[in-house]
Structure 1
Amino acid sequence: MKAISYTRTGDPSVLQLVDREAGTPGPGEVRVRVVVSGVNPTDWKTRSGNGQPMAFAEVVPNQDGAGVVDAVGEGVVGLEVGQRVWLYLAQHQRPTGTAQELTVLPAERVVPLADSASFDVGASLGVPAMTAHRALTVAEDGPTRLRPGALEGRTVLVAGGAGAVGHAAIQLARWAGATVVTTVSGPEKAALATAAGAHHVVDYKHSDAVAEIRAVVPDGVHLVVEVAPAQNAALNAAVTANRAVIAIYANNGGDEMTFDVRPHMVLNTRFQFVLLYTVGGRALAEAVEDVQAAVAAGVLEVGGATGLPLHRFPLERTADAHTAVQDGVTGKVLIDL
């Protein structure tokens, strides 16, 4: 079978098209014929090395994907050959991800895909939607699960609403009944955030973002889904409500942040960091269930019409796909197999 792999970390040129033997699923495992592989920032960061040695001699990249069950190992229940599925954390602590024609995974990382959902949707769920779910469910005063009405009466501020996680956070928060405010860097991204379902879009580069947010939410926002904590520290301090939570899932704009202690202490602000790899099995399982429900309800759609443009590449151009994500392309990058 055809696959993309690398034997050393580095820039996208380390990615090579190779022929590999298809793996055989062992007990508790499933083999999936991949139709679409999704690319996330975590994939290129892992490939680049992040200053860490490779965990395996050869790696097939990409955590997310969607396809059809091809074979089922002993003891697997609830999945069968021919079933449409989506995949998450495919390459976490494993040498092979979804940038290959056939991939073998633990059954718990293989999830039935609703008949109404496309493979493009399935390949866009894992890292973005599950990260967004976690960010929306960590508030002390908020719900631990998402469903219609779960966030009723609460206001969510999504930083960077035109990104993949931001897009999913807007969709999930609105589905759960929140009032959704998002910040973007220009009119093109504002249009995308509006298409995703944000109630209020603030162009922070061309307006007084604090004044605009406070005009919409005089009492402050209850939850911030934050992609750039260093850049947005002052903004968040100025617009959050008492007992608000700032859920930080990325470090765009800098690895270090500073803030005044007293204003946050007065408001009992909570900073909650979010990394999908280490949230624990219960949080992952709950995210899977709620994301499945949202997909079945038609909530997590992708494409330009719903605020997340798609950029497609064939398998042999996986290096170009990684470059696009690394360069910050707006939208979702997919690889067609």
Structure 2
Amino acid sequence: MTQQLTTVAPLSHRDGGATAPRGAIAQRRRRRIRFQPAWLFMAPSLIILAVFVFYPILRSLYYSFFNWTIGAAHQQWVGLGNYTQLLHDNQFWNALGVTIEFTVASVILLLVLGFVTALLLLRNSIANRIVRSVLFFPTIVSFVTIGMVWKFLLDPDIGLVGGLTKAIGLHPVDWLTSVHLALPTVIFVAVWRSMGFAMILFLAGLQNVPAEYYEAARLDGASNLQLVWNITVPSIRPTMLFTTMILTIQSLQVFDLVYVMTDGGPLFKTDSLVNMLYRVGFQNFQTGYASAISWVLFIIIMIVSLVQLRLFRFNDVD
């Protein structure tokens, strides 16, 4: 009898131990289902994002499968017809080439000039602070304003650049109507406007590089060029990735500067993808075709961003 009681006791103990985890799991489930007040604070922002961002994005995808025209009584379903039409549209390929040329040239120039300027202005002196402020000032001005100012400055008849050209005895150049100079001029204005932004980002990265790395390298006899290439560049790789991605996305979506300065001319030599999208969607009212262009641009941006993430990948040990 005693042996039987001692045998039953551990069983009841094991049963109690088995019910305890089930109670804890049920309590965790109730805690998980319980309403979180944080959603009330997030609700206004989520509603705004849903109405003005996510819904238009999904709606444009829906439009891209139709021959959607504003004001038409019937919208014809064409499936992938808008996308196949893009493959045979010379204006699309021209706009894509202009956009790629603008992006490659402006991003490379901004990375190089921003990095070099950040290195030169790294020391936190009063003179460097003033120069930093002067270089960063155009960044806070909109592209529309910058484009209007430079369009006036580059006017061959009444512009400051044309006046200076006449003053030194040269013939004024019509920068924005030349088929060879219009795109380089727009690239120059875009780089001038955004160089301060790239400089500030690189300054933030450079100031986080430990000074001990440079001291140890100098003790080993490293030159200034070796310090930059072997210490500075690897140390700011995350900053370089962020800067490259932001500048690339910004350049691929260029519109306002082109629209104000050249409106895609002359002869579509500065016609970007977004400028073509605006013309097709808001001037020709071909909403379906314009939506297809926007989604192709979205896919291009995604692919370029993934490639950049792959090229600039870094490990935690870095």
**Structure label with greater radius of gyration:** 2
Whose strand proportion is higher, 1 or 2? Answer: 1
Per the normalisation by structure 1, the TM-score is: 0.22
Which structure carries more relative contact order (alpha carbon 8 Å, separation 6+)?
2
Per the normalisation by structure 2, the TM-score is: 0.23
